[in-house]
Structure formats: C-alpha cells, structure tokens
Amino acid sequence: MDWASRPLTRRSTGRQKRGAFGSLRWRSGAGYLSVMEESEMKRLVVQSLTSLLSGMFLALGVLLVAAFFDGNYENPYDGRKGRDLPEQVSIVESAVLPGQINYTITGKLFNSSQIEWNHLSLRATIYAGNAVVNECSESVDDVPRDQEVSFRIKCLGVSGVDLPKNLTHKIAVTYGSYYE
C-alpha cells in the first residue's frame, strides 16, 4: 500500500480473535486504534523536507537566471530620449472610417520639428455630446522631419453599425521618443 494513501492512524474493521480458552470470538471495528510506525513518519518528514528544499533551490535558480539576463541584456531603447506632448507635431486631418464595426479613425500627422521621431503615441478621445465615451491609443513609428505620416486608430470600446450622429473625437500626440 502506498504511504500517501495510508492514513496516519488505522482502525480495525473487525477481526477474529482467539479467546483465553482457544475459542474464536469476533471483535468489533472500534475495538482498538493503531498508530503509524515511527519509520513511516520519519520517511514522511524527510520527503516533505526534500520537497521544500527542491522548491527553494528552484526559486533561487530562477532568481539567478533573471539577475544574469538583467545585467547582460542589451536594451535596444538605450540612448533613446523621450518627451511628453511633443511640440511641432500636429494632426493635419482626421476622419471616421465609414462601414467599420469598430469606431476607426484615420488621418495624417505632420512633423514640423527638427527631430526625427522614432515613436509617437497618439490618443483619441471620443465624445457623445460633451461626455467622454471612450479613449483609445495607437502608436506611429519612424516619423521623419518635415513629413506627413498616415495613422489609423481603432477604438474597440465603441462599436456598432448605427452609431449615434453626435459622436465626435479629438486626437492628441501624447508622447514621442527619438535618438540623438
């Protein structure tokens, strides 16, 4: 019988015993209680400690590997500078793309700065009247200086075929990063 399926204590379910004069008598199941042997308990404790130590060494190994890769990993973003609300990047035009299930905005932005942007983050805020219905974001990569670049923002929170006519949107450039 496997040790894991054995209970810590065993109760008799009924056995035949010989009486003092040799005759057989039946003893009920609640007659006695036996305790697990000491060697079985020691083995259970040793196996539990082995499992605990194995888990601790596994966690230590994961931490060491993470520390090794953290120190030796070359971040491709090193040397990149960032700027909130980059100036001289403007939205030239934007329109809702008709016939889409999701509220999809297409448009163009113009980079009039002397910076060649590696990454620009755009945020579209959708209004129903004066109330904000949803905000969604998208990013545009590799925006050269003095050039227009197209973008598309898909807002998953606003969807449907017959959207109300009072939906409007505003688009803002929220963040930009570049290499010097």
pLDDT digits (tens, 9 = 90+) for 51-71: 999 999 999 999 988 887 765
Regarding predicted confidence, which is higher, 176 or 8? 176
Sequence-ordered list of residues with C-beta below 8 angstroms from that of 110, at least 6 positions apart, any chain: 89, 90, 92, 147, 148, 149
pLDDT at 83: 87
Higher-confidence residue: 76 or 86? 86
**Which residue ranges form the domains of the chain, and what is each CATH number?**
3-72 (no CATH), 80-179 (2.70.50.60)
Q: Please tell me the distance from the alpha carbon of residue 72 to that of residue 76, in angstroms, as a whole number.
A: 13
Nearest to 158 by CA among 90, 104, 115: 104
Q: What is the mean pLDDT of residues 151-162?
A: 82
Confidence check: pLDDT of 7 > 60: no
Confidence at residue 147, expressed as pLDDT on a 0 to 100 scale: 93
Taking only the tens place, the pLDDT of each residue in 77-113 is 667 888 888 889 999 999 998 888 888 999 999 999 9
